[in-house]
């Protein structure tokens, strides 16, 4: 059996090296090369690859942001020049990394490892990738969502609020609303705390978008986002708002 691969890297020389190194691996066929995540999401839909050779740091969206919106199972081999990502992966002993610059021997070992996983029926290392993303302490600077087969990048300044919906989070912004397969806890930990406040177990709001507060019942309030949108504020949430804002 042969396995289809996508090479996703914004640097043409890096893509050429991977393609050249793959020539002797007859079990892997390169289905497409992509220079960014927007090209990649279309190619993934079209080719349904088994393996991604994925650069971590790319313009427009990062490799980790791309993986957040992929639905189909896939084995991922990261390539990166940023060793903090590699160290995190090795600590988890989960996802294989090619730390640039790497040689052909290191590349071969990585490919053989993934082929063995695929032959054993392991179609994805998504669980391990999720561990890496959750453990990443960096604050979000934007949110990447998928709308149909397209990717969309939402600036945090354009987000109004986030609402818990079972195992998902609905993101409401100036350009519409988008469902994201994440938890409220994740966003509470990764959104800038000086801008986004958890006002209720169901809501995280962009404090800069709150127009005011009005009483709801005893000791509780509603946060007024606009005339048509008012969100419940818990007692704890009200305390957080008072600490951050002049109410």
pLDDT tens string for the chain (247 positions)?
899 999 999 999 999 999 999 999 999 999 999 999 999 999 999 999 999 999 988 888 888 888 888 888 889 898 888 766 665 655 544 457 888 888 999 999 999 999 999 999 988 776 666 666 655 556 788 999 987 778 889 999 999 999 999 889 999 998 899 999 889 998 998 899 999 999 999 999 999 999 999 998 877 899 999 989 999 999 999 999 988 776 6
- pTM score > 0.85 for this model? no
CATH placement of domain 142-244: 2.40.50.1020
In sequence order, what are the residues at sequence separation of 6 or more whose Cβ sits closer than 8 angstroms to the Cβ of residue 188?
196, 198, 204
Residues in the chain: 247
Give, to the nearest 10 degrees, the angle between helix 126-135 and helix 83-92.
Answer: 120
CA pair distance 178, 176, nearest whole angstrom: 7
* Residue extents of the structural domains in the chain: 3-135, 142-244
Beta-carbon neighbour count of residue 64 at 10 Å?
Answer: 19
Q: Do domains 3-135 and 142-244 have the same CATH topology?
A: no
CA pair distance 95, 73, nearest whole angstrom: 14
Whether the CA torsion 10, 13, 16, 21 is positive or negative: it is negative
CA pair distance 212, 229, nearest whole angstrom: 11
Tell me, which fold does domain 3-135 have in CATH? Rossmann fold (3.40.50)
10 Å CB burial of residue 40 (0-12, 13-18, 19+) is buried
């Amino acid at each position: 059996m042969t396995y289809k691969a996508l090479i996703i890297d914004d640097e043409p020389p890096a893509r050429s090296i991977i393609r050249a190194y793959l020539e002797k691996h007859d079990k892997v066929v390169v289905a497409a090369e992509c220079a960014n995540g927007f090209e990649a999401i279309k190619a993934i839909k079209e080719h349904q690859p088994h393996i991604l050779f994925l650069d971590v740091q790319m313009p427009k969206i990062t490799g980790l942001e791309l993986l957040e919106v992929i639905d189909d199972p896939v084995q991922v081999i990261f390539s990166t020049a940023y060793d903090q990502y590699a160290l995190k992966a090795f600590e988890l002993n989960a996802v294989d990394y090619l730390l640039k610059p790497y040689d052909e021997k290191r590349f071969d070992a990585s490919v053989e490892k993934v082929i063995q996983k695929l032959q054993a029926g392991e179609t994805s290392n998504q669980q391990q990738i999720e561990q890496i993303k959750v453990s990443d302490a960096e604050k979000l600077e934007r949110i990447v969502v998928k709308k149909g087969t397209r990717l969309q990048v939402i600036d945090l300044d354009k987000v109004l609020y986030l609402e818990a919906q079972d195992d998902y989070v609905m993101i409401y912004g100036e350009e519409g609303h988008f469902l994201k397969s994440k938890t409220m806890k994740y966003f509470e930990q990764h959104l800038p705390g000086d801008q986004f406040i958890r006002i209720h177990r169901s809501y995280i709001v962009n404090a800069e978008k709150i127009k005011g507060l009005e009483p709801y019942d005893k000791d509780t309030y509603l946060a007024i986002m606009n005339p048509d949108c008012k969100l419940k504020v818990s007692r704890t949430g009200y305390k957080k708002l008072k600490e951050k804002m002049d109410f």
